[in-house]
Amino acid sequence: MQIDILTLFPAFFGSPLSESILKRAQASGIFGVEIIDLREFAPGRHQVVDDRPFGGGPGMVLKIEPLAAAIQWERRRRENARVILLSPQGRLFKQAVAAELVKNSCLMLVCGHYEGFDDRVRHYIDDEISLGDFILTGGEIPALAVLDAVVRLLPGALGDEDSAAEDSFKDNLLKGPQYTRPREFAGWSVPEILLSGDHQRVAQWRRREALRRTWRRRPDLLRDAGLTAADRLFLQFLEAEPSAE
């Protein structure tokens, strides 16, 4: 898979892409990444990429010419590129969206800055994604978040192939509690069932704890969760439980 990022700040991505899973996945050829400087597509000696908004108002707006030129250049060299604008006005990024995006052979993530884009850029894109209902300085952090979430789903990216499948948001549920050594710490003990060696009971406990945590912290997720009849019975039982964990 190829992921290209169009940005005004190429140096922003240097450290994250050279650490941990992202570094190893690139070295293994699982995905490639190219950071593209938007200023290279700005006309004129001064490579101006922004201007004051028509109609007045604070801040500066990214100009359409360099944006359109960069996206068209990308499409000429990567015919299958899916061009995604990172914007607070886009659809909400979720694990299901990451699973959708990983099916593409090439993504181009377009980072905004200043007060946003000239709206005509939307004639050149395929998708628009937001991390949530908050404002960041630019699209670099959202682009990195999208890249990381997508790369984790690529075969071979993680050391344990089951890790991605067991992460939070599997079946639209939060992940339940996890423990490791020591068995006792500051008076808190690891649940005995995890030490039982009974894999079936452990799996059942983990499913129920995932349901419990989702019900208490993110009940909105349950609307689209893949619930079984046993799950629904357990959720009915939870309604009688105290809310504290």
Model confidence pLDDT, tens digit, residues 192-244: 999 999 999 999 999 999 999 999 999 999 999 999 999 999 999 998 876 64
> Is residue 119 annotated as a catalytic residue, yes or no?
no
Q: If you write DSSP's letter for every residue of the chain in order, what string do you get?
A: -EEEEEES-GGGGHHHHTSHHHHHHHHTTS-EEEEEEGGGG--TTTT--EEPPTT--SS-EE-HHHHHHHHHHHHHH-TTEEEEEEEEEEEEP-HHHHHHHTTSSEEEEEE--TT-B-GGGGGS-SEEEESSSS--SSSHHHHHHHHHHHHTTSTTSSSSTTTTTTSTTBTTB-------S-SEETTEE--GGGGS--HHHHHHHHHHHHHHHHHHH-GGGGGGS---HHHHHHHHHHTTS-S--
Which member of 115, 127, 148, 171 is catalytic? 115
User: Taking the domains of the chain in order of start, what are their residue ranges?
Assistant: 2-151, 184-238
CA–CA separation, 208 vs 210, rounded Å? 5
At the topology level, CATH places domain 2-151 in: Alpha/beta knot (3.40.1280)
Distance CA 200, CA 192 (A): 14
| CATH fold for domain 184-238 | Trp Operon Repressor; Chain A (1.10.1270)
Instruction: Report, as ranges of residue numbers, the positions in the chain whose pLDDT lies below 50.
Output: 244
Would you say 141 is a known binding-site residue?
Answer: no
pLDDT at residue number 76: 98
Give the model's pLDDT for residue 45: 85
pLDDT at residue number 245: 52
Q: What is this structure's pTM?
A: 0.89
Has 67 been labeled as part of a binding site? no
Query: Which position among 16, 167, 177, 206 bears the catalytic label?
Result: 167
Instruction: Flag whether 131 is marked binding.
Output: yes
Q: Is residue 167 annotated as part of the catalytic site, yes or no?
A: yes
**Residue 174: what pLDDT?**
94
Catalytic residue among 88, 128, 148, 206: 88
- Residue 92 annotated as lining a ligand binding site: no
Please tell me the predicted confidence (pLDDT) of residue 169: 76
Active site residue 206: no
Q: CA dist 157 to 4, 143, 163, 175, Å?
A: 18, 18, 10, 20
Q: Would the annotation count 133 as a binding residue? A: yes
* 112 among annotated binding-site residues: yes
